[in-house]
Amino acid sequence: MDYAVHILTMIAITGIAAVSLNLLIGETGLVSVAQAAFAGIGAYGMTLLMLHAGIPFLAAALFSALIAGAIALIIGAIFLSLREVYYVFGTVGLNMIVWAILLNWDSLTRGPLGIPGITRPEVLGISFADNTAFLILCAVVLLAVFAAHYAIMKSNFGRVLHAVREDEEAIAVLGYKTEVYKIVIFVISAALVAFSGSLYATYLSYINPSAFTVNDSIFILAIVILGGLGSAYGAIVGTCMLVGAFEALRFIGFPASIAGDMRQVFYGLILILFMLYLPRGLFGKFRI
Amino acid sequence: MAKETLLSLENASVHYGGVRAIDNVTLKVDEHELIALMGPNGAGKSTVLKALIGLAPLSRGQVRWHGVAIKPKTHEMVARGIAYVPQGRQVFKSLTVLENLELGGYTLNNRSATKANIESVLHLFPSLREKLSHKAGLLSGGQQQMLTIARGLVADPKILLLDEPSLGLAPKVVKEVFEKIAEIHRERCIAVVVVEHSIKSVLAIATRVFVLSRGSVVLEGSPDSIDSEALHRVFLGQS
Ligand SMILES: Nc1ncnc2c1ncn2[C@@H]1O[C@H](COP(=O)(O)OP(=O)(O)OP(=O)(O)O)[C@@H](O)[C@H]1O
Ligand SMILES: [Mg+2]
């Protein structure tokens, strides 16, 4: 039972990251390999605000999501006007830089030692110290993110994002400033994934930089590709499958360290196989 | 009454890397003209349109709007009233016909104006009215081409730039498309610049003709003044 709650909680937290990445890669056609970096900014931002400034969880998490959004705004303004390859490399570079900062800014982040003792949140007077209660919190946030995804894609704004994905020049020549649209969705996606980072930190009560590497970004990418581009629902199914597989590997007795390595082989393999045989993923409407 | 010049290129050159796409091209678009831009493959026809709409930066020369030199940015050119329909039928396939049309009204910045304009555009394209809720990707090639033109008209432009609207269409459909272009020109009193390969269909409706070859204008004038032998020589690459 406890184990099921744990897996479901990991699925809900990772699902938020996957749905928010789908807004970028699935709906707008923007590949990003920086989701883990923004999750890291959210996790560390929230933790530092909570531990050092005594700000309660919700305010700290929202504020660090804002910080992540502001960083995404700057990065987006620089990279999103470039050609796609450069932009993708830009996101990889960003993730490496953020990771290096988390690892090396000892006085703030305690470097590789990480930060322990992050308490479970209390939101609006309700304590989420209990695992089941925390799972419910995560599920509610996932549901909200899912609803936000739906609302965005139903709006005029979302329609333009779809048009950008199909043919950016064709929409630009109707007078749309496509860079602005791309930057806005990049910022929204970063803020959402930062919030999932905050949930992650308070769930495990401990964070270190190794959870926010380029590899972790690729993991989220693999989930979205597996689930299918352009489908928030697929992103959640993909999360269940990949997070479930990882946790199952640990469950059948693989030590965590080996499971971690296996996980990377496994995801790499999934990415390759899907690209070759099922480029639309399970529920996808589009190929990459 | 002298017609006013709306948009012009003056001694314009465009380079793509080391490739010179157009060289020293001068071209004026006056009110209510229907200009045919002709020439063989690779002559630079598309590049002329892209230069006018701000998609191809000039390495030399100028774009003028109502006589004033400007630095063309695409979204500003659209806001000024220039609609550009690119080569190769770029409808948004996953969106419906109506959604495609609605996207065309961006510069109006007003829902009810967009709605009214779509309504008036649909008078010109009755065949689209029946398909408003269909996905654009499911339309035939001819219907998709009509949709891209209709979408361009939703913004109520003063100038319509059309790049090879007949590309890949059956002869009968080409005829329909050109009848439609002539009708738009007549009924809406707008200037049209149409890039075209098929000489016959476009000469019948044009008020002025430019012929490009290897990036330069080699013939220019009214359709009657264009010497058909010279025109054929250009297309055969002998000039
Ligand atoms: N994006 C580009 N990069 C490099 N060269 C280009 C590019 N676009 C056009 N060119 C070159 O510029 C020249 C003019 O091209 P353009 O597309 O304007 O010709 P066109 O008259 O429209 O031809 P077509 O009838 O085939 O459409 C050609 O030599 C072409 O190869
Ligand atoms: Mg062309």
- Give pLDDT tens digits along chain A (288 positions): 688 899 999 999 999 999 999 999 989 999 999 999 999 999 999 999 999 998 999 999 999 999 999 999 999 999 888 877 888 999 999 999 999 999 999 888 898 888 888 888 888 888 888 889 999 999 999 999 999 999 999 999 999 999 999 888 899 999 999 999 999 999 999 999 999 999 999 999 899 999 999 989 998 998 998 888 888 888 999 899 888 877 777 777 667 677 667 777 777 887 788 878 877 777 777 666
Q: Is the CB of B18 under 6 A from ligand 1?
A: no
- The pLDDT, as a whole number, for residue A287 is 66
Which strands make up the sheet holding B208-213, listed edge to edge?
A: B82-85, B159-163, B191-196, B34-38, B208-213, B216-221
Minimum-distance ligand 1 atom for the alpha carbon of B215: 14
The chain B residue lying nearest A166, using CA atoms, is B92
Q: How far is the CA of B46 from the centre of ligand 1 (A)?
A: 7
Domain that holds residue A91: 2-212
- Structure confidence at residue A45 (pLDDT): 96
CB contact B108 to A (< 8 Å): no
Task: Give A172→chain B minimum CA distance, Å.
Answer: 7
Look at residues A224, A258, A252 and name the one whose alpha carbon lies nearest to residue A238: A224
First vs last C-alpha separation in chain B: 36
Q: For ligand 1, atom 13, which residue shows the shortest CA distance?
A: B21
Is the beta carbon of B44 within 6 A of some atom in ligand 1?
A: yes
The beta-carbon contacts of B164-170 under 8 Å, at least 24 apart in sequence, are B164/B45, B164/B46, B164/B87, B164/B88, B164/B195, B164/B196, B164/B197, B165/B85, B165/B194, B165/B196, B166/B196, B166/B197, B166/B198, B166/B201, B167/B87, B167/B88, B167/B89, B167/B197, B168/B89, B168/B141, B169/B141, B169/B142, B169/B145, B170/B142
Q: Which residue has the tokens 């910080």?
A: A67
Residue count of chain B? 239
As residues whose CB is below 5 A from the ion ligand 2, the structure lists B 46, 87
Is B157's C-beta closer than 6 angstroms to any atom of ligand 1? no
Confirm if A284 and A227 have CB atoms less than 8 A apart.
yes
Among A154, A131, A31, A156, smallest CA distance to A89 is for A31
Structural contact between residues B63 and B12, judged by C-beta atoms closer than 8 angstroms: yes
Whether B37 lines ligand 1, by a CB cut-off of 6 Å, is no
Ligand nearest to the CA of B25: 1
Q: Are A246 and A30 spatial neighbours (Cβ–Cβ below 8 Å)?
A: no
- What ipTM, to 2 d.p.? 0.85
Query: How far from A95 is each of A39, A81, A186, CA to CA, in Å?
Result: 10, 19, 14
Amino acid at residue number A109? T
- Return the DSSP state at A68: H
For ligand 1, say whether the CB of B45 is within 6 Å of any of its atoms: yes
How far, in Å, from the CA of A114 to the mean position of ligand 1? Answer: 56
Which CA distances in Å does B76 have to A69, A173, B109, B160?
Answer: 28, 10, 14, 15
B199 shares contact with chain A (CB less than 8 Å) = no
Can you give the pLDDT of all 239 residues of chain B as single tens digits? Answer: 567 889 999 999 999 988 999 999 999 999 999 999 998 888 999 999 999 999 999 999 999 999 899 998 899 999 999 999 998 878 999 899 999 999 998 888 888 888 999 998 898 888 899 999 999 999 988 889 889 999 999 999 999 999 998 887 888 888 888 888 888 888 888 999 999 877 777 888 889 999 998 888 888 888 787 777 777 777 776 55
Cα A135 from Cα A209, distance rounded (Å): 24
Neighbour count for residue A250 (Cβ, 10 Å)? 17
B57 neighbors B16 (Cβ within 8 angstroms)? no
A240-278: per-residue pLDDT in tens? 988 887 777 777 766 767 766 777 777 788 778 887 887
User: What are the start and end residues of each CATH 3.40.50.300 domain in chain B?
Assistant: 1-81+159-168+188-239
User: Which of B102, B106, B152 has the CB atom closest to A176's CB atom?
Assistant: B106
Question: Using a 6 Å cutoff on CB, does residue B238 contact ligand 1?
Answer: no
- Cβ pair B155:A174 closer than 8 A: yes
Q: How far is CA B5 from CA A1, B25, B159, B237, in A?
A: 78, 16, 11, 32
Could you give the CA distance from residue A193 to residue A186 in angstroms, rounded to a whole number? 11
SS3 state of residue A229: strand
- Cα–Cα distance, A72 to A65 (Å, whole number): 10
CATH architecture of the domain covering B1-81+159-168+188-239: 3-Layer(aba) Sandwich (3.40)
B90 touches chain A (CB under 8 A): yes
Is A151 exposed, middle or buried, given 0-12, 13-18 or 19+ CB atoms closer than 10 A?
Answer: exposed
Cα angle A73, A38, A27 (rounded to 5 degrees) comes to 70
Question: What is this structure's pTM?
Answer: 0.88
Tell me how many domains chain A contains.
1
Cβ-defined contact of A174 to B104 (cutoff 8 Å): yes
Nearest C-alpha neighbor of A226 from the set A12, A15, A10: A15
Nearest to B95 among A162, A174, A175 (CB): A162
Q: How far is residue A44's CA from residue A39's CA, in Å, rounded to a whole number?
A: 9
Considering only the beta carbons, identify the residue of A156, A159, A172 that sits closest to B74.
A172
Q: Among B92, B102, B152, select the one facing A167 at the smallest CB separation.
A: B92
Residues in Cβ contact with A265 at an 8 Å cutoff, skipping those fewer than 6 apart: none
User: How far apart, in whole angstroms, are the C-alpha atoms of residue B150 and residue B125?
Assistant: 7
Cβ separation of B84 and A173 shorter than 8 Å?
Answer: yes
| Tokens linked to A253 | 């007795």
Interface of A with B (CB under 8 A): 156, 159-160, 162-163, 166-167, 169-177, 285
- Asked whether residue A266 is assigned to any structural domain, the reply reads no
B195 φ/ψ angles, rounded to the nearest 5 degrees = -85, 130
Q: What number of other Cβ atoms are within 10 A of residue B75's Cβ? A: 18
Q: Which ligand is nearest to the CA of B48?
A: 1
CB-based contact A176 B93, cutoff 8 Å? no
Nearest CA in chain A to B149: A174
